[in-house]
Amino acid sequence: MTKYQIRGGNPLHGTIQISGAKNAAVAIIPAALLVDGACRIENVPQISDVTLILQILRELGADVRTINRTTVEVDCSHIRNRQVPYELARRIRASYYLVGALLSRFGWAEVPLPGGCDLGGRPIDQHIKGFVAMGAEVDVRSGLICARVPGGARLSGGQVYLDMVSVGATMNIMLAATLAQGMTIIENAAKEPHIVDLANFLNSMGADIRGAGTDVIKIHGVTRLRGGTYSIIPDQIEAGTYMAAVAAAGGEVLIKNVIPKHLDCITAKLAEMGVDIEEQDDALLLRREGPLTRVNVKTMPYPGFPTDMQPQIAAVLCVARGTSVLTEGVWDNRYRYVDEFRRMGAQIQVDGKVAVIEGVDHLTGAPIHACDLRAGAAMIIAGLAAQGLTEIDGVYHIERGYETIVEKLAAVGADIRTIHVPGEEDQSQAG
């Protein structure tokens, strides 16, 4: 079994380079299925979710070439196999993007229901509503999402009003609509930076998508996309996680390769807590010396405070002065990590979607379990701020979404290392 061992108490000093955005990469790579020709994709993060999605494309017959550490070339011109392997698809949430992409290109898709972090119910009814509005017949049976356009025709443009703001449904409908006949309009669309990134990728290959980043997206279907080169945006949540780490551990760190605008909501909260943040062109300089002050935080779709930063900000609030109220506005059950924090001495009460956190003078190191990706990252932050030794297992969750997190933190002075414990098995990757 692989674990992370952290001896807390070191302030962080130096520079951290942010990688490409996970949630953009896992949509852009399947989007290559729509393209006739080779897509060279740059700034690809080296994380296990990306490895998995590339492996799925290889299984489908795509030609996938690694150009260098952060660049891959994906050519799906000669795809023949359309059966997505269950064992791979169930391990990753983003496998649902294969439905939109395959349906758009071939008018037919059968994809195993996706996996992903356990954050409460994760329905896909809005994705399906979108495909149906474009003329597909969709049903879920034997663990598969089966979608087809009757008569083997192309999808046709449709109008979709999303009942709730959904990142996945917005991107999946965009993928499906790209090669559909006519215009598709998505209303109440999500506005996350990765939505804009996917639209920019598709447009750079010849698609006609307007309005991404607003709540109405119009997609004029085209007959063909051609190959090209595209660079993925920096990861908003990875940057936010290191910002939270500096807040909790103290010190002075330059966080490089970011789009500061994407981080405004996180910057504002940390500044309110007493972190000094200086914005530069593509970097943020964070400094924290004095005590942290309590704040209230409510997560919501972009440009609100991201749900994917909720556990990390909770870790910081555990060591802030006073009582903070944290409200989860996106997922039903994103507080499964709280019991682990309590082992470290955190004072947290949860009632439904609200957590009340009373700051303590210090946390104490403990053996804890990373129950999902962002909770795992938050446990690292708690460990950095704690007195004594923290040992985290279940780190495969963290490695799904953070490139070389141990090395990046060790390089700025954190006492963190990876250990391999013989004789104990990692649980199978739930994804």
Interacting residues with ligand EPU (CB under 6 A): 23, 26, 93-94, 117, 121-127, 164, 166-169, 190, 307-308, 330-331, 373-374, 401
Minimum CB separation from ligand EPU for residue 274, in Å?
A: 27
Which lies closer to ligand EPU via its Cβ, residue 167 or residue 317? 167
Residue 284's φ and ψ, nearest 5 degrees, are -130, 135
Minimum CB separation from ligand EPU for residue 216, in Å?
A: 17
Which lies closer to ligand EPU via its Cβ, residue 10 or residue 170? 170
Which lies closer to ligand EPU via its Cβ, residue 32 or residue 292? 32
- 71, 217, 327, 408 from 68: Cα distances, Å: 5, 34, 42, 20
Tell whether the torsion through CA atoms of 125, 127, 128 and 129 is positive or negative: positive
Ranges of beta strands (E only) in 135-232 are 137-141, 144-148, 159-161, 183-187, 208-210, 216-220, 225-231
- Return the number of other C-beta atoms located less than 10 Å from residue 239's C-beta: 27
Q: In degrees to the nearest 10, what's the CA dihedral of 408, 414, 415, 416? A: -30
Minimum CB separation from ligand EPU for residue 124, in Å?
A: 5
CA pair distance 58, 163, nearest whole angstrom: 35
117 given a catalytic annotation: yes
Which helix (DSSP H) or strand (DSSP E) does residue 384 occupy? helix 373-385
Minimum CB separation from ligand EPU for residue 251, in Å?
A: 26
Which lies closer to ligand EPU via its Cβ, residue 107 or residue 401? 401
Q: Residues in the chain, how many?
A: 431
Minimum CB separation from ligand EPU for residue 370, in Å?
A: 12
Q: Cβ neighbours of residue 362 under 8 Å, at least 6 residues apart?
A: 319, 345, 385, 386, 387
Which lies closer to ligand EPU via its Cβ, residue 113 or residue 360? 113
62 closest CA partner among 49, 79, 50: 79
Which lies closer to ligand EPU via its Cβ, residue 94 or residue 319? 94
Residue of 117, 265, 318, 371 with catalytic role: 117
74 closest CA partner among 54, 60, 99, 89: 54
Render the burial of 400-427: b for 16+ CB within 10 Å, e for the rest. bbbbebbebbeebbbebeeeeeeeeeee
Ranges of beta strands (E only) in 153-250 are 159-161, 183-187, 208-210, 216-220, 225-231
DSSP state of 305: B
Minimum CB separation from ligand EPU for residue 99, in Å?
A: 12
Which lies closer to ligand EPU via its Cβ, residue 67 or residue 354? 354
- 352, 384, 421 from 335: Cα distances, Å: 9, 20, 28
Minimum CB separation from ligand EPU for residue 14, in Å?
A: 26
For the annotated catalytic residues, the residue numbers are: 117
